[in-house]
Structure 1
Amino acid sequence: MGKRYEKLSQEDRAFIDAQHLFFIASASNNGEVNLSPRGYDCFRVIGENEAIFMDYAGSGNRTARDIEAGGEVTVLFVSFEKQPLNLRLFCKGELIDKHDDYARSLFEGSDFSGMRRFVKLHIYCVEHSCGMSMPYYEFKGERNDLREWCQDSDEERRLEGYMQKNHTPPDLSKYKK
């Protein structure tokens, strides 16, 4: 059975810091739920009820659109090693400019190429569940594909256009029954 808490503990923070992957789900008034995996060292806990992550260009821009529409965000960290645990953060999001000095200082030494913005998370509930059905996986390293694509696209002056194009939600009415 899951347990719910009002804030992150020191153990939660250590668990989050040790993860190489997290999943972010978001939804807004249109009823569709978006779910995206995120890699890289791009997530920081900045308080008992606050975190921030670097939002890179990639497939679309759904999380930001849902946040702009006042939607909810859930972040999931999963242990694939050692002790099983699923850690969920239920949040409201806030979009922060990619040039924000404070946010950048949290990621000193990071590559900001291809980053759209920072997303600040205001955590209102922390949930633990057992994770005992999760398989074991071994982390072998990060993929540099997205970073390389962003750098190449930026050098060819295509990246800004790509991000602008994906800021507008697509018309999904033809997919609804």
Structure 2
Amino acid sequence: MGSQSGSLNEYDKEFITEQKIFFIASCSGKEVNLSPRGYDCFRVSGDNEALFLDYAGSGNRTARDIENDGEVTVVFCSFGPKPQILRLFCKGESIDRSDEACRNLFPSDDLRGIRRFVKLHIYCVEHSCGMSVPMYEFKEERKTIKAWCARDADNGKVDEYIADHAIPVDLSGFRHW
């Protein structure tokens, strides 16, 4: 049986730190965007606030939706023996990658090549059983994005990529299927 609350509790925070992957969905009136995220890039910063690193190397749709006052939902699910799904319903906020308070929450090596921090203002926390989610064993993180960022951050190629994939101002050109 599912339940909802207005904020994270200590069990929720512990559950989040144990997960190796999360999914972020966003929408700003067009199609819904859904992306998996890996790495240890998510931090709970309060009962109703969290933050994650937005690495370069993929589309920029979550940021587009946030900038257009869209909704954000983050999903954590257990792939281990104890099933659970945790959904965070949020409003997002883009924070510049130079923000020192945010930077202090992560190891400095993890900050190379990030586009921004995304702060999540959580207004609803939902729990459900997760009993239909299969069990998987974590093997290892992919090193591709972090290696690319470490290699190309100093020569400006990461910044060039970020500039080339900036948030589009005009959304009228997006296809709505």
TM-score normalised to structure 2 length: 0.92
Pairwise mapping of residues 33-112 of structure 1 onto structure 2 (< 5 A)? 33-112=32-111
The aligned length equals 174
> What code does the residue aligned with 1:3 have?
S
Overall identity of the aligned pairs, in %: 57
SS at match of 2:111: coil
TM-score by length of 1: 0.92
Consecutive unaligned residues of structure 2, counting only runs of 5 or more, are none
Corresponding residue for residue 2 of structure 2: 2
Contact kept in structure 2, 1:81 and 1:137, CA below 8 Å: yes
In structure 1, runs of 5+ residues without a counterpart are: none
Instruction: Give 1:153 shift.
Output: 3.1
Counterpart contact for 1:60–1:167, Cα < 8 Å:
no
Look up the match of 1:12.
12
Q: CA deviation at 1:155?
A: 4.2
Deviation digits for residues 136-166 of structure 1 (CA, Å, limit 9, x no counterpart): 1001111101111223333443211211111
In structure 2, the partner of 1:117 is 116
CA distance, structure 1, for counterparts of residue 151 and residue 32 of structure 2: 31
The answer for the alignment partner of 2:28 in structure 1 is 28
Kindly provide the amino acid, as one letter, of the partner of residue 49 in structure 1.
Answer: N
What's the RMSD between the two structures over aligned residues?
1.5
Give the partner amino acid of 2:4: R
CA 28–145 in structure 1, closer or farther in 2 if over 3 Å, else same? same
- Pairing 1:126-137 to 2, within 5 Å after superposition: 126-137=125-136
Q: Is the 8 A contact 2:26 2:32 kept in 1?
A: yes
